[in-house]
Structure 1
Amino acid sequence: MHHLRETLFGLLVLSGLQETRGAPAQEPLGGTDVAYAAARPRKIHGRFLHLTDMHPDPHYREGRSEKSACHRRKPKKSPRSGTYGYTYGECDSPLALTNYTFDYLDKEWASDIDFVIWTGDSARHDNDRKIPRTLKEIYALNRAMAQRMEEVFTSRGIPVIPSIGNNDVWLQNIMMPGPNDVTAEFSSIWKSFVPFHSYQVFQRGGYYSVEVIPGALAVISLNTMYLFDSNKAVGGCEPKSPQDPGNLQLDWLEVQLKTFRSRNMQVWISGHVPPSARNFHSQCHIRYVELSLRYQDTILGHLFGHMNVDHFFFLDAREIANNRTAEVNDAVNTLGGHKDLYQTLLKTFDHFAVPEGKLDYDGLAVANVAPSVVPNPYLPSFRIFSYNISGSRYTAGALGDTSGSGERDGPLTHGRHLGDYVDRARLCHESGTANASWACMLNAPWHANPDSPSRTNRLFTPLGFAQYYMPNLTGTAKRPPKWRLEYLTFAPRALHPPRPATDDDAAAAAFAYPIPLKQLPRTLRDANVTASKYAPYGMGDLTIPSWAALARRLAKAKKSSKLRQRFRRYMYMGANGEL
């Protein structure tokens, strides 16, 4: 079966390499198009999949050397490339790993999730001078990946929300202002994923939104190439350049958030490159952080990939003025800097080591960066998120027409804005940058509410995630390696919520285990378990206060504490960051 899948995937890639495919005329959604399949009532599970950085490599060969990117030369001694990949190295994913991952998700998870967030890099790295990447190969790989997504998920009516990665374009990291050939080609490749009404915007900029639960929950997919500091083909969101593609995208994002908020909807924001001061152009970063905080009561969270390292960081209003986030990503701007990320993150968590009542949650948001499927440089991984699906104003148990998440009680605009955090007298007037920085110009009031889903557990609040990985890539077609639970954010007791009374039909229809019991190790299937090596954090949910509490615990913990040791081990999947 796996050989057959690999052959089919390879044939699809090769067929894409043999011809140049242009974007066909766009047709209205219908038939097998499933970007809006959520409009058809279907069971809700309260879970979704986050998958990132698969990097399939059609040139990968078993038994080859890492120095050749696992393409050539059989070394005299091990290690050598295996059937399913090269562990802790710089080789990309063999098609055997890519297809095995899809087969596993098809069998084990596709019937238990509501949507898929897929944050890009679906082509190999340009790491072999003897076999340079071509635009034709990049598109062929992305088209093959999209077809597998359609087979596994959209054929079931599960929305898939992809994003463009920095390795999905040629030259790597460089994307010209749109509309261009990239946006035209991906309009064709992703025609099953991008809603028809978003095509005009997508063809201009490569970003769009999908209502995964119509009228209630949406995912916004950003094109971070127009915000990425390494893309020198754009202007970096400078205020004096309103037509810069980064500014146009953030203008669009502002309208999207305003519209979704007016409809009482909740939103996830996704993209490839994380929104840090080091990764984003400085003015793009300021605008992104300000929008994230202005619409904190509407945004559930921020999900990204690219870094291949499991971590989280804060979008903090204070960092716009102090530029503290730059130091976090100074350490990880290159692959060699991964080993410093752990210490750098702990340093940024220091200011959370204060009593809980002293923290200002209005000025915070959280970005989660998922590790990759490609074992480069660590181990294959994916995440299953769980979210709250209870609520009196929701059609419980079905993905159908809703009246929005609603339940916004009392005034939500507290009147605060960016100027409350930025010393504009120093930053703007004395330095003469009042018209040169968004930090001096953004004055819109922020919407924050302690009772919103990003701050407290209620309808659509993210409850936690389970991270699965492949700790041993050794295997054969007959006995492939196994995906296993690496860790989860939940407390063990939270994995066994009380089942509602059977006479409450709505509550019973909406009931779901956060993680299906069959996907848990046997030790966690016991409802009486109170502690487990798989549950190091015991987080009640993934709200902003919960992430701040974890940052506080990490900041206060001793260097040799189990908490810090586990946090580091999960970041680097056992490699200790020494690569």
Structure 2
Amino acid sequence: MLPLNVLLVLTFALAEVFSAPTQTPFQVPATKPRQLRGRFLQITDMHPDPYYKVHKSQSKACHRNKPKKKKNRSHYYGTPYSDCDSPFTLTNFTLDVLDKHWAEEIDFVVWTGDNARHDNDRKLPRTPSEIYDLNSVVAKRMEKIFSSRGIPVIPSLGNNDVWHQNILTPGPNSITNEYSSIWKPFIPFPYHQVFQRGAYYSVEVVPNALAVISLNTMYFYDSNKAVGGCLTKEPDDPGNLQFDWLQVQLKLYRARNMQVWLTGHVPPSSGNFFPECYVRYVDLSLRFQDTILGHLYGHMNADHFFFVEAIDLEFDLDQDSRAISLQNGDLCDALLEDFSTLPKSSRTDLDNYGVINVSPPVVPNPYLPTFRIFSYNITGFEASPVGVLKKDRKHSHHRGEHGNKDELCKDEPYRSSWKCQLNSTWQADPDSPSRRNQLWSPLGYAQYYIPDLAEGNKTHQPHFKLEYTTYSPLDLHPAAAEEDGKFVYPIPLGNLPKSLRKGPVEKSKYTPYGMRDLTVGSWVELARRLADGKENKLRKQFREFMYMGGE
């Protein structure tokens, strides 16, 4: 049972948002669609905590006890580099900033889960009603800020959005039913039945052109002991059913010449997913590389990227020596070591790679609050909103060059692995938007954070500031001579720091990566630079961004 003061806070918050306009992008009358801005928001891991109190002990989850030393006390807007979750002051402040400075500048919102506090206080155990109440409050704010403007919001289920933590049984169940109600404004009506079965669905954020698929990674996550882990002998396992559904969705979108973002909470890796679920994810990622623009996840609370690769589907690979453990050890060192195994440019087949982007969270646990604004190419959309499927698509298929797959698949345990079952043709095309900058291609992102979080108080708000961007500094402003006289700023001038507002500059501390775009080849090129032992400054910046000075 929640204490009375918490219930009152939740009641007033709900009352406020329930009075908001309820118009959603799936129920609006046929009116002129919003003009595309070529940007979208990713926000993840808010973790609001109704029990958070100011000046309490960080060792007590910022819930009680006032330490003698100020450095051990909680702060008004949140406590950076701690194990404490977000006070309502922080979640409200973040959403207010998005409402004021970004809601009119974006086309859709990718919201990758965890909207309830961690279960990190034995004296205050979480309850299902508290988890649902917190998710309802945040969902209503998202609806008020974005859906009321006709902006699609695509939420995903986090491992802390369920009770017990990390455990989700096959649906339909009480959890999938509850979230089908909480997220009703965001889920297109045709997907409600699918959602109740498995908490996954799809949204066409630009009708007939661009979609976002929200996956329920709880059915792939190896901490969820209530599912079977996508074993081939269990076709009704919820992970297998979800992959079957995803395969159909990708085939349909590809047939319609649409492009797709895959999103979810827990990133797909050999350290996070059940082995057989990971194999299926890698296979689909590479089989539909010409249709999938990218992969957006949260959960890890650290800023990074990594690859799913064709070699992950081989048998004779020493997986233990190569796999990235995203749970233990130093993540940065593990990634740099993995990047060092990339082949030289002349020997790299980009058909064999998918790029996983992991965004850091709003919660300052263990670093600083953040959100990301992505930009993507919308040039030519108005002239040709729906393309025609090319008939000369390149086909490729990786068939086990590292070992005798046909021989190994005759015997157990290999015969029962998805590695032996998945033999469909891969659809990869160097001229697809994930590989070459064109309509719908991802161009870059800007990451905002609050470096002065601990300084905020009742009379002085903290500030969201630009931490860094992936762009080249010259790409933030129009070129001297423009062919069509139009330029879509990747970051609106008002949301740039003063040093970047006036015009193009050749160098800036905010543009360390200088990436031309976010296509597969650009990410592989960045990974090679990071693996280069001579790039000490770049490696240092990559580590600083990952841990925000906290480690």
Question: Which interval holds the TM-score relative to the shorter structure?
Answer: over 0.9
- In the alignment, what sits opposite 2:501? 525
Rounded to whole Å, the distance in 1 between the matches of 2:508 and 2:161 is 39
* Residue 10 of structure 2 is aligned to residue 10 of structure 1: yes
The separation in 1 between residues aligned to 2:464 and 2:320, in whole angstroms, is: 35
State the match for 2:465 in structure 1.
484
Task: Give the 3 Å change call, closer, same or farther, for CA 39–119 of structure 1 in structure 2.
Answer: farther
Residues 483 and 342 of structure 1: is their aligned pair in 2 closer, same or farther, counting only changes over 3 Å? same
> Which position in structure 1 is the counterpart of 2:257?
264
Structure 2 residue corresponding to 1:372, chosen from 349, 353, 361: 361
Displacement of 1:499 in angstroms is: 8.4
Name the SS for the 1:366 alignment partner.
strand
Partner residue of 1:395?
Answer: 382
Write the distance in 2 (CA, Å) between the matches of 1:327 and 1:48.
Answer: 37
CA distance in 2: counterparts of 1:542 and 1:169, whole angstroms: 33
| 1:75 aligned residue | 67
Q: Is the 8 A contact 2:270 2:324 kept in 1?
A: no
CA distance 1:8–1:387, change in 2 (3 Å):
farther
Tell me, what secondary structure is at the counterpart of 2:302? coil
- Find the aligned partners of 2:370 and 2:245 in 1 and give their Cα distance: 32
**Which secondary structure state, in structure 1, belongs to the residue aligned with residue 40 of structure 2?**
strand
Q: Which amino acid aligns with 2:124?
A: I
Q: How does 1:465-476 map to 2 (within 5 A)?
A: 465-473=445-453, 474-476=455-457
Does residue 574 (structure 1) correspond to residue 517 (structure 2)? The answer is no
SS at match of 1:444: coil
CA distance in 1, matches of 2:312, 2:239: 20
Q: Which whole-Å deviations, capped at 9, do the CAs of 1:515-557 have from their partners, x for residues lacking one?
A: 1111111111243311111111100000000000001111113
Matched, 1:307 2:300: yes
Q: Is the 8 A contact 2:396 2:428 kept in 1?
A: no
Q: Tell me if 1:463 matches 2:438.
A: no
Rate the CA distance shift 1:269–1:11 in 2: closer, same or farther, 3 A.
same
Equivalent residue number for residue 362 of structure 1? 351
- Quick one: distance in 1 between partners of 2:283 and 2:101? 39
CA distance in 2, matches of 1:229, 1:499: 52
Residues 196-211 of structure 1 aligned to structure 2 (within 5 Å): 196-211=189-204
Q: Deviations over 1:234-289 (max 9, x none)?
A: 01000111100000000000000000000000000000000001101100000010
Q: CA deviation at 1:360?
A: 1.0
2:338 equivalent in structure 1: 348
Equivalent residue number for residue 277 of structure 1: 270
Correspondence for 2:39 = 47
CA deviation map 1:364-412 (0-9, x unaligned): 0100000000000010000000000012xx325xxxxx75344x54521
1:248 to 2:241 alignment: yes
User: Structure 1 residues 89 and 258, CA, compared in 2 at 3 Å: closer, same or farther?
Assistant: same
Describe the shift of the 1:552–1:423 C-alpha distance in structure 2 as closer, same or farther (beyond 3 A): farther
Amino acid at match of 1:32: Q
Residues 342, 528 of structure 2: 8 Å contact kept = yes
Tell me, in whole angstroms, the C-alpha distance in 2 between the residues paired with 1:44 and 1:84: 34
Percent identity over the alignment? 57
Name the structure 1 match of 2:165.
Answer: 172
Inter-partner Cα distance in structure 2 for 1:7 and 1:106: 25
Q: Given that residues 10 and 95 in structure 1 are in contact (C-alpha distance below 8 angstroms), is that contact kept between their aligned partners in structure 2?
A: no
Q: TM-score, normalised by structure 1?
A: 0.89
Structure 2 residue 425 is matched with structure 1 residue 445: yes
Instruction: State the alpha-carbon separation in 1 of the partners of residues 431 and 87 from structure 2.
Output: 46
Task: Name the residue aligned to 2:3.
Answer: none
2:386 match: 404
How many residues matched?
538
Q: How well do the aligned residues superpose, as a CA RMSD in angstroms? A: 2.3
User: Structure 1 residue 78: deviation in Å?
Assistant: 1.5
Q: Give structure 2 stretches of 5+ with no counterpart.
A: 1-5
Asked if structure 2 preserves the Cα contact closer than 8 Å seen for 1:237 and 1:281, the reply is yes
Counterpart of 1:68, as a letter, is K
Closer, same or farther in 2 for the Cα pair 1:485/1:36, shift >3 Å? Answer: farther
| Residue 513 (1) aligns with residue 489 (2) | yes
User: Residues 412-427 of structure 1: matches in 2 within 5 Å?
Assistant: 412-419=393-400, 423-425=404-406, 427=408
- TM-score, normalised to structure 2, is 0.93
Equivalent residue, structure 1, for 2:25: 34
Aligned mates of 1:75, 1:33 — CA distance in 2 = 47
AA of the residue aligned to 1:333: Q
Q: Are the counterparts in 2 of residues 92 and 374 from structure 1 also a CA contact under 8 Å? A: yes
Are the structure 2 counterparts of residues 151 and 325 from structure 1 closer, same or farther at C-alpha, using a change threshold of 3 Å? farther
For the pair 1:436 / 2:445, whether they are aligned, the reply is no
Contact 1:13/1:137, CA 8 A, preserved across alignment: no
More deviation, 291-300/419-428: 419-428
SS of the counterpart of 1:351?
coil
Partner of 1:248: helix, strand, or coil? helix
